[in-house]
């Protein structure tokens, strides 16, 4: 367990000596740390090595919250955060006050998230990603890391940070870390604590929907592999039907069609689970379900190949939750 340095001013942070033996890695958080954050910090420690340096930032950024969002309700648990950061291997925690990050009040110059920032989460929360990118840019300047680690759970945030770092030539490597889930499948979030037991049961539909989509993709991909290994045609299916082999004929049709419309099939499987949850007590109120290209967060086409993100956002009671999983669509032949 390391000795942990708590820093709350930019001056102290700039005076923090860099390690001579390894990179500096930063993990940016808004506090209320949980096992998901601890995983990020441990991953940073692994990437930085024993001779590198891990800095965790704890800052509840007001620019990310809209007029009707939960800035005042957002949990502040600095003492507990410090213990989690220390146990996970951090060397320093930068926990500034708002006027330390924004000494002149709300900044007049901000980073624009562009068109990608207006989709999905950006459509629901206008201005959110501009505020997020502005503080990430400031914290990158303040912490001056070689590596910055972010969770895949906030997939659109991660994509936008990568875009900003590329477009604005930040000298940092952005590393995505796999989403951490609780035993029942719910993605770890500081907002999970606001769910009642009954609300939590409803909320589990988010991860179930994502995995239903994943399972549908795997099943369709298996059928497609069979079609590629032993081509089946509509003519073969028709011939089988004439011979009374109805089940074999249906299978032949399924194999023949397996390579088409995979994105639509994935969306349909996930949506079915979410629609059922909309009839629970309390109900799941769906914000969006989307299957998108992670490069720009536009909807994927029926013939899409490559990596996609299946993303969902919904409200249960007064708590809004998001989740996603990456999916790989193979090339059609």
Q: Is the peptide bond before 287 cis (omega within 30 degrees of 0)?
A: no
DSSP state for residue 61 in the 8-state scheme: -
SS3 192: helix
CA–CA distance, 36 with 39 (Å, rounded to integer): 5
CA–CA distance, 215 with 236 (Å, rounded to integer): 28
- Round the CA-based radius of gyration of the chain to a whole number and report it: 23
Residue partners of 228: CB distance under 8 A and separation at least 6: 333
Asked whether the beta carbons of 198 and 317 are under 8 A apart, the reply is: no
DSSP state for residue 187 in the 8-state scheme: B
From 14, 34, 37, 141, the catalytic residue: 37
Asked whether the beta carbons of 302 and 264 are under 8 A apart, the reply is: yes
Q: Is 37 a catalytic residue?
A: yes
Virtual torsion, Cα 66, 69, 72, 74, nearest 10 deg: -110
Q: Which of 112, 155, 120 is nearest to 308 (CA)?
A: 155
Q: Which of 151, 2, 127 is nearest to 69 (CA)?
A: 127
Asked whether the beta carbons of 240 and 249 are under 8 A apart, the reply is: yes
Strands 92-94 and 5-7, by their bridges, are parallel
Virtual torsion, Cα 232, 238, 244, 245, nearest 10 deg: 10
CA–CA distance, 219 with 196 (Å, rounded to integer): 35
**What residues are annotated to the active site?**
37
């Amino acid at each position: 367990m390391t000795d942990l340095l708590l820093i709350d001013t930019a001056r102290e942070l700039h005076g923090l000596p860099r390690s001579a033996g390894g990179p500096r890695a930063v993990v940016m958080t808004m506090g209320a740390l949980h096992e998901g954050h601890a995983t990020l910090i441990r991953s940073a420690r692994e990437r930085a090595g024993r001779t590198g340096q891990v800095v965790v930032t704890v800052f509840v950024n007001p620019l990310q919250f809209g007029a009707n969002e939960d800035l005042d309700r957002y949990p502040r648990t600095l003492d507990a955060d410090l213990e989690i950061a220390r146990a996970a291997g951090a060397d320093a925690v930068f926990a500034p006050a708002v006027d330390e990050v924004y000494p002149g009040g709300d900044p007049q110059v901000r980073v624009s998230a562009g068109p990608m920032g207006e989709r999905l989460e950006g459509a629901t929360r206008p201005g959110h990603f501009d505020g997020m990118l502005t503080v990430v840019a400031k914290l990158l300047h303040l912490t001056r890391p070689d590596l910055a680690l972010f969770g895949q759970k906030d997939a659109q945030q991660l994509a936008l940070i990568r875009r900003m770092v590329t477009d604005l030539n930040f000298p940092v490597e952005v590393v995505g870390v796999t989403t951490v889930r609780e035993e029942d499948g719910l993605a770890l979030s500081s907002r999970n604590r606001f769910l009642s037991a009954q609300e939590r049961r409803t909320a589990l539909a988010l991860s179930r929907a994502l995995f239903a989509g994943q399972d549908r993709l795997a099943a369709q991909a298996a059928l497609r592999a069979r079609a590629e290994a032993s081509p089946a045609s509509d003519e073969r299916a028709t011939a089988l039907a004439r011979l009374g082999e109805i089940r074999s004929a249906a299978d032949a049709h399924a194999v023949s069609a397996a390579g088409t419309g995979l994105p639509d099939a994935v969306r349909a499987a996930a949506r079915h689970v979410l629609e059922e949850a909309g009839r629970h007590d309390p109900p799941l109120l769906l914000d969006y379900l989307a299957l998108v290209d992670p490069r720009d967060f536009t909807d994927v086409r029926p013939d899409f190949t490559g990596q996609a993100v299946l993303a969902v956002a919904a409200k249960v009671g007064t708590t809004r939750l998001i989740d996603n999983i990456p999916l790989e669509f193979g090339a059609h032949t």
